[in-house]
Amino acid sequence: MGRPRRKRSGGRDAKQALRKQSQAQVAAFVERGIPYYQLMDEASLALIEHNADTVLEEIGIDFRDDPEALQLLGDAGASVDGERVRFPRGLCRSLIRASAPAEYTQHARNPQRNVIIGGKRTVMAPAYGPPFVRCLDQGRRYASIEDFRNFVKLTYMSDSLHHSGGTVCEPVDLPVNKRHLDMVYSHIKYSDKPFMGSVTLPERAQDTVDMAKIVFGSEFVQQNTVITSLINANSPMSYDATMLGAAKVYARNNQATVISPFILAGAMAPVTAAGAVTQILAEALAGMAFIQVVRPGAPVVFGTFSSSISMQSGAPTFGTPEPSLVLYVAAMLARRLGVPFRSGGGLCGSKIPDAQAAYESANTLQTAALAGVNFMLHTAGWLEGGLAMGYEKFIMDADQAAMIAVMLQGVDLSENGQAMDALREVGPGSHFLGCAHTQANFADAFYTSSIADNNSFEKWLEEGSLDAGSRANTIWKKMLQDYQAPPLDPATDEALLAFIEQRKSAFPDRNY
Amino acid sequence: MGRPRRKRSGGRDAKQALRKQSQAQVAAFVERGIPYYQLMDEASLALIEHNADTVLEEIGIDFRDDPEALQLLGDAGASVDGERVRFPRGLCRSLIRASAPAEYTQHARNPQRNVIIGGKRTVMAPAYGPPFVRCLDQGRRYASIEDFRNFVKLTYMSDSLHHSGGTVCEPVDLPVNKRHLDMVYSHIKYSDKPFMGSVTLPERAQDTVDMAKIVFGSEFVQQNTVITSLINANSPMSYDATMLGAAKVYARNNQATVISPFILAGAMAPVTAAGAVTQILAEALAGMAFIQVVRPGAPVVFGTFSSSISMQSGAPTFGTPEPSLVLYVAAMLARRLGVPFRSGGGLCGSKIPDAQAAYESANTLQTAALAGVNFMLHTAGWLEGGLAMGYEKFIMDADQAAMIAVMLQGVDLSENGQAMDALREVGPGSHFLGCAHTQANFADAFYTSSIADNNSFEKWLEEGSLDAGSRANTIWKKMLQDYQAPPLDPATDEALLAFIEQRKSAFPDRNY
């Protein structure tokens, strides 16, 4: 059985040592050097919080088909009426504040890839959930486990993505009741970055935990967080038994959950930004309080997935201004609560990696970055409102994610950064190309995009007048060709495969 | 001769009345309802300001081939050594603070289109300067006066663009020494939005002023600003006689100038963000101080055009993180100085309106919006580092500009915005599609993009699997078909044409 090469890095010194070590190589996550964008003033935020408490107190949240959840919440002071749970004003907040950590380390099997989620960090993960994939060569088709492995590999090779994610695409060629085993195995086998667990049934969550124990050791898993999993609310204002069941498994095993209201404003929430964010806060408070009641101290993340719908067709829309406003406010509310915050990255509605996809994704990525998202799910690959994972889109978004990491570092105000010597050396009317300061800094001075073509028009013509999609197509193919798996202890690998074999043979294949 | 239908709107009441009137129709400009993004703290900004003063005091700025400029600056307290002008610490700042207005109204021939530049307003204008145009049908070709007219018409029809701009493309089919007359005429004839003037020679600036006098009346022009023109510095740290000459013409006629350091960091400025912004501030301070010396009180805008270069090819790059950092800081410096701020909008390096173009443009637009740009030049159409004006790109960018206008309005916290009644009406597990609040608000709830396709995959297939560029192609053609010129007093039109005829016949055609 594998063992992590590094002990729990709870202490500040350990974290600092880890950070130093990571930065010498590839940064394991982004440390923010610039302020958050503060969209709203204190009084307005307090109004939203007051309204969310009103929702929790007067309207309440449904916890469905889970008598244990109702019992636990009733014992914690909530008022339970059937499946409707009403929370006295401030109860959720105080339950969360009493025990939820402000940040947590999610361990990876390679400790240099450990991420800290919360505070001034941003951890970026690929898109989650698409049943289809798209590439320039084959167009759109159902995703397979091979696609899943490909996206794990591409994420592993992308320095700007810190986290292997979860359902990077849905491997629909495998039976529904067994595919989670292959997904979790792929994250472990083909990457050494941290990953997400299955949430489609409590026993699948337990399988995820059991596989993690094979990799990290049982004791280590009980004491440390090695899985972060996505728990969506059934917005508006309800949680279902599947999600609650999976959440309980993870919480009881000290593993992290991202409690995410899933909002298409106009359908699952009011059409106004203030109304939508009020509901988001209420739902997130109830879900996170529930986790703290299940196991005080279990890491929990304030999640949001917020979009609008087209009031013409009812279809979800992305990259528009209203969800950006919601996101800026939600991030501020999470900070006031003192928990990590999750939102989406490169969201778009376009079917293909065209200008629509790019405008929408850039708008969402910029907003997430400035808002201060700690765990940025859907950073790369997302197309078609999440229905498709795009190979070319993935490469483009990963490039954007790398730019955002640079932006978040901010302005270097060291003497070298101030560049007064360069200004003195060059003076009026000359140029800086050859000056000592430029020579000393040029290698790292500017982010160099992997897909942007900045050549002359003539050179671009000569090279075939390619668009960004075509260039990205070449890149992902080359990456998959060059891929080399990170080493995995053979005994661990064998134990994982034996576990999977045993679990698979215990049940017939099912597609639900 | 035409007369403006409205008197100078200097007073607060007049402005408020104007604003009310404008908002009842299409907003003449954006009034910001959200905070600026404050990237840097006070101490860091003070450090940049100190360094800029050091540049002005020790290194100095060249004012070339303009003895009058040297004389004026010397008289104002600067130290003149040949063409090198050094400014005692704080001199530029105090000259600017003493007389430069914090904001100004640029009058349009239709007073409902008057814009206020400065403060919490954002005024958006199309791209400026491209010698080429590109459309899907014909690819890339040299721009003509017909293209120029087309972009004036498209801008006139785009509600998200408040300003007709200047050299929306370079009509290279007309002689260099006469084309400014056709450009200014096109802005006046085919639009009623405010416009920019020629800066390629002082006499062409004077022609612009003279044509404005025909439209607005001489006395009105002397008392009001009806032209805003772009004065680029010859970075690093110099101004040439052409720009100084044009700037003097405009300033002496009380017309506005945008003093813009033109920075490709690594070539015209240091490679570091702090170094580049220090130089930008020094150059802008010197240029704006010069304007205030020429005519105290003439409106002046702190401009920036900031990009990086590829350290491999030397080509300019756009939409990358470093210029965003520069822009955020420059906007804060302009506010501290108390003058309006100008920067670019949808900048990109891509040759075509693909994903590269869109990512880069969105990154720049978002930054400009959050930084608090008052006059956003190059908002729409820009391709290929400014070498080409794109018809499809224009439509896409104008759509993004409209989204930014919505975002800048911020979150509605009225009772309707809070939507507590909707939350109470719908409750857990239902949906908001049919509730009273949604019905009452759905028409205005969400920005509806003109080019995004948010239909189902199947519908999109059925409709031909179009990309955003193809949809934009249909839109601009339809707009040009539907274009109707705003009324122009026939006597004014005749007078303008007579003036142009007289000026054109006074000189032989020249291509310089």
CB contact under 8 A, A431 and B51: no
Distances (CA, A) of A457 to A473, A499, B135, B315, B372: 21, 57, 15, 11, 33
Q: How far away is chain B from the Cα of A398, in angstroms, using its nearest Cα?
A: 12
Per-residue pLDDT at B25: 65
Give DSSP secondary structure letters for B261-287: -EEEETTTB-SSHHHHHHHHHHHHHHH
- pLDDT band of residue A22 (cuts 50, 70, 90) is very low
Q: Are B259 and B246 in contact (CB under 8 A)?
A: no
For A56-91, how does the pLDDT look when each residue is reduced to its tens digit (9 = 90+)?
999 999 999 999 999 999 999 999 999 999 999 999
Per-residue pLDDT at A410: 97
Q: Give the mean model confidence (pLDDT) for residues A496-512.
A: 94
Distances (CA, A) of B383 to A467, B318, B450, B512: 13, 10, 20, 25
CB contact under 8 A, A325 and B410: yes
Residue of B nearest to A235 (CA): B429
Contacts of A372 in chain B (CB under 8 A): none
Q: How far away is chain B from the Cα of A454, in angstroms, using its nearest Cα?
A: 6
Helix (H) or strand (E) holding A438: helix A436-445
Dihedral (CA of B317, B321, B322, B326) sign: positive
Q: Are A182 and A174 in contact (CB under 8 A)?
A: yes
Distance CA A373, CA B121 (A): 28
Q: How far away is chain B from the Cα of A510, in angstroms, using its nearest Cα?
A: 28
Q: Which one is predicted more confidently, A80 or A15? A: A80
Contacts of B55 in chain A (CB under 8 A): 420, 423
CB contact under 8 A, B445 and A418: no
Distance CA B209, CA B228 (A): 11
Whether the pLDDT of residue A156 is over 90: the answer is yes
Contacts of A312 in chain B (CB under 8 A): 448
Q: Which of B354, B425, B430, B457 to mutate to test the interface with A (most CBs of A within 10 A)?
A: B354
DSSP label at residue B119: T
Whether the pLDDT of residue A312 is over 90: the answer is no
Q: How far away is chain A from the Cα of B492, in angstroms, using its nearest Cα?
A: 42
Q: Give the mean model confidence (pLDDT) for residues A432-442.
A: 94
Residue by residue, pLDDT tens for chain B (512 residues) are 333 333 333 444 544 444 444 444 689 999 999 999 999 999 999 999 999 999 999 999 999 999 999 999 999 999 999 999 999 999 999 999 999 999 999 999 999 999 999 999 999 999 999 999 999 999 999 999 999 999 999 999 999 999 999 999 999 999 999 999 999 999 999 999 999 999 999 999 999 999 999 999 999 999 999 999 999 999 999 999 999 999 999 999 999 999 999 999 999 999 999 999 999 999 999 999 999 999 999 999 999 999 999 888 888 999 999 999 999 999 999 999 999 999 999 999 999 999 999 999 999 999 999 999 999 999 999 999 999 999 999 999 999 999 999 999 999 999 999 999 999 999 999 999 999 999 999 888 999 999 999 999 999 999 999 999 999 999 999 999 999 999 999 999 999 999 999 999 998 999 88
Contacts of A308 in chain B (CB under 8 A): 445-446
Q: Are B304 and B326 in contact (CB under 8 A)?
A: yes
For residue A424, give the nearest of B59, B321, B460 by CB distance: B59
Q: Which of B62, B404, B432 to mutate to test the interface with A (most CBs of A within 10 A)?
A: B432
For residue B446, give the nearest of A278, A317, A370 by CB distance: A317
Residue of A nearest to B58 (CA): A424
For residue A322, give the nearest of B361, B363, B446 by CB distance: B446
Structure tokens belonging to residue A340? 């990590």
Per-residue pLDDT at B234: 95
Q: How far away is chain A from the Cα of B371, in angstroms, using its nearest Cα?
A: 10
Under 8 Å CB pairs connecting chains A and B tally to 399
Q: Give the mean model confidence (pLDDT) for residues A227-250.
A: 97
Structure tokens belonging to residue B348? 């990109």
The helix/strand/coil state of A261 is coil
Per-residue pLDDT at A13: 52
CB contact under 8 A, A320 and B449: yes
The size of chain A, in residues, is 512
Q: How far away is chain A from the Cα of B186, in angstroms, using its nearest Cα?
A: 29
Q: Give the mean model confidence (pLDDT) for residues A357-381.
A: 98
Residue type (1 letter), A391: Y
* Angle CA B159–B161–B165, to nearest 5: 145
CB contact under 8 A, A429 and B234: yes
Per-residue pLDDT at B313: 82
Per-residue pLDDT at B311: 80
For residue A47, give the nearest of B350, B413, B460 by CB distance: B413
Contacts of B84 in chain A (CB under 8 A): 428
Residue of A nearest to B368 (CA): A366
CB contact under 8 A, B59 and A428: yes
Q: Are B114 and B9 in contact (CB under 8 A)?
A: yes
Residue of A nearest to B141 (CA): A457
Contacts of A350 in chain B (CB under 8 A): 452-453, 468
Residue type (1 letter), A52: A
For A336-353, how does the pLDDT look when each residue is reduced to its tens digit (9 = 90+)?
999 999 999 999 999 999
For residue B356, give the nearest of A266, A313, A453 by CB distance: A453
Strand ranges (DSSP E) for B275-346? 300-303, 305-309, 316-317, 341-344
Per-residue pLDDT at A11: 46
Q: Are B140 and B133 in contact (CB under 8 A)?
A: yes
For residue B453, give the nearest of A62, A350, A449 by CB distance: A350
Q: From B371, B372, B363, select the one nearest B397 (Cα to Cα).
A: B363
Backbone angles phi, psi at B136, to 5 degrees: -60, -35
Residue of B nearest to A326 (CA): B411
Whether the pLDDT of residue A19 is over 60: the answer is no
Contacts of A456 in chain B (CB under 8 A): 315
Contacts of B463 in chain A (CB under 8 A): none
User: Within 13 Å and on the Cβ side, how many CA atoms surround B152?
Assistant: 28
Q: From A188, A199, A121, select the one nearest A156 (Cα to Cα).
A: A188
For residue B329, give the nearest of A40, A366, A411 by CB distance: A411
Q: How far away is chain A from the Cα of B290, in angstroms, using its nearest Cα?
A: 17
Q: How far away is chain B from the Cα of A334, in angstroms, using its nearest Cα?
A: 18
pTM reported for the whole predicted model = 0.94
Contacts of B367 in chain A (CB under 8 A): 366
CB contact under 8 A, A456 and B315: yes
Q: Could you give the dihedral angle defined by the CA atoms of residues A204, A208, A209 and A212, in that order, rounded to the nearest 10 degrees? A: 170
Per-residue pLDDT at A5: 36
Q: Are B410 and A325 in contact (CB under 8 A)?
A: yes
Per-residue pLDDT at A311: 80
Per-residue pLDDT at A25: 65
CB contact under 8 A, B349 and A454: yes
Residue of B nearest to A52 (CA): B420
Per-residue pLDDT at B13: 52
Per-residue pLDDT at A313: 82
* β-strand pairing of A115-118 with A103-106: antiparallel
Residue type (1 letter), A348: C
CB contact under 8 A, B449 and A269: no
How many other CB atoms are found less than 10 A from the CB of residue A259?
A: 27
Q: How far away is chain B from the Cα of A66, in angstroms, using its nearest Cα?
A: 16
Q: From B195, B121, B15, B384, select the one nearest A453 (Cα to Cα).
A: B384
Contacts of B357 in chain A (CB under 8 A): 355, 358
Give DSSP secondary structure letters for A218-229: HHHHHHSB-BEE
Cβ contacts of residue B199 below 8 Å, gap of 6+? B205, B229, B230, B231, B242, B243, B246, B247
Q: How far away is chain B from the Cα of A254, in angstroms, using its nearest Cα?
A: 29
For A160-193, how does the pLDDT look when each residue is reduced to its tens digit (9 = 90+)?
999 999 999 999 999 999 999 999 999 999 999 9
Whether the pLDDT of residue A12 is over 90: the answer is no
Please identify which residue in the block is written with the tokens 């857990």: B428
Contacts of A468 in chain B (CB under 8 A): 350, 354-356, 359
Residue of B nearest to A319 (CA): B403
Please identify which residue in the block is written with the tokens 């005091």: B57
First-last CA distance in chain B = 32
CB contact under 8 A, B445 and A403: no
CB contact under 8 A, B308 and A446: yes
CB contact under 8 A, B447 and A322: yes
For residue B275, give the nearest of A267, A313, A422 by CB distance: A422
Distances (CA, A) of B438 to A45, A142, B201, B403, B415: 23, 35, 57, 21, 14
Residue of A nearest to B452 (CA): A356
CB contact under 8 A, A51 and B418: yes
